Amino acid sequence: FGTFGWNFDPAVTGRNYYMRGARTGLGTALLLTGDQSFAEPLRRQLANLYAVKREEGGRTLLPQKHGPNGWYGYTANQYFDVHRDLYLWSMNEADLAHLAADPWLNFLRGKNAGYPAAALAREFERLRGRVAAMRADESTKETRPSDGAQRFSPVATETLVNLMLGGNDPGSSGNILHARLRYFDPARRRAGLPEDVAALVTGLTAETATVVLVNTNPVVGRAVTVQLGAFGEHAGTYVEIGGKRTALAGSDFRVELAAGAGERLVIGMKRYANRPRAEMPWER
């Protein structure tokens, strides 16, 4: 459960990635078993860090290192990504204690209506900035470090994972995807939304996910398969559209969208009721 360790490179405040292994390993165990107790060690570790926090200049600082003389290496990193995981796994209000200012979670709770548009605009601006920096880079292959191109990566997945899947972005350090929904194209037999189809998750509770699906094509109908969970780990109970509730069995269902049509779906589910599987829906 560690990378580099608590006292690695003590002359540097950062470069302690101890939370990576714990977050990935315990989250995977929860996904595979549905046992919420696997999240508890992460809660306890965060509680240990907050127990020795410092307040400076209106900011909360947590230690990133621990050595023979105790805690040190205080930074503003509060591991909000781990707090998000804990809340989305449990849907327990207590796990929101340090997330009062989280703009995406506030949107899901009906408190930040403008978040989707603002978040997408910010991601596009970030993408443009990175591409511009890449094109302006004057380093040569002889002088460029092996990881020098990372700062120019135009890949931006966090907002899409949040808004489309109702999940926390797993990042780029070996984590797996935890999500409330996932989509497949039944016509092309591939993962992902079909051409012209848009999805926006607007609400999550312990027993429901609310999503708006829209076919932006004005002349051609589209079909999309909606799966409950990144690996079908959630079991459906019903789908409600326009106040009409239809019973749902299984971990996926197909939606037919007429040309230019859109609808809000409230999907009932029992979370972590199924063993996760990597197959496509039509392969089960």
Same domain, 193 and 255: yes
In the chain, the percentage of residues whose pLDDT exceeds 70 is 98
Which CATH number belongs to the domain containing residue 279 in this structure?
Answer: 2.60.40.1180
- Whether residue 38 is predicted with pLDDT greater than 90 in this model: the reply is yes
- Whether residue 93 is predicted with pLDDT greater than 50 in this model: the reply is yes
- Whether residue 248 is predicted with pLDDT greater than 80 in this model: the reply is yes
CA–CA gap between residue 176 and residue 169 (Å, rounded): 9
For β-strands 190-191 and 235-241, DSSP reports them as: unpaired
For residue 45, tell me if it sits in a domain: yes
For residue 11, tell me if it sits in a domain: no
- Whether residue 274 is predicted with pLDDT greater than 80 in this model: the reply is yes
Please list, in sequence order, all residues whose beta carbon lies within 8 angstroms of the beta carbon of residue 212, skipping any fewer than 6 positions away. Answer: 199, 200, 202, 262, 263, 264, 265
User: What is the pLDDT, as a whole number, of residue 4?
Assistant: 66
Same domain, 275 and 207: yes
- Whether residue 146 is predicted with pLDDT greater than 90 in this model: the reply is no
User: What is the pLDDT, as a whole number, of residue 29?
Assistant: 97
pTM above 0.85, yes or no: yes
- Whether residue 109 is predicted with pLDDT greater than 80 in this model: the reply is yes
Strands (E), 34-140: 54-56, 59-67, 70-75
User: What is the pLDDT, as a whole number, of residue 2?
Assistant: 45
Mean pLDDT of 116-136: 95
Q: Which structural domain, as residue segments, surrounds residue 121?
A: 115-156
User: What is the pLDDT, as a whole number, of residue 15?
Assistant: 66
Split at pLDDT 50, 70, 90, the class of 31 is very high
Give the sign of the dihedral formed by CA 12, CA 1, CA 47, CA 39: positive
Mean pLDDT of 227-244: 97
Each residue of 6-21: pLDDT tens digit? 777 777 776 677 788 8
For residue 4, tell me if it sits in a domain: no
Same domain, 121 and 91: no
Same domain, 129 and 186: no
Same domain, 274 and 186: yes
Same domain, 146 and 221: no
Same domain, 22 and 89: yes
For residue 52, tell me if it sits in a domain: yes
Same domain, 213 and 152: no
Residue 34: what residue type?
Answer: G
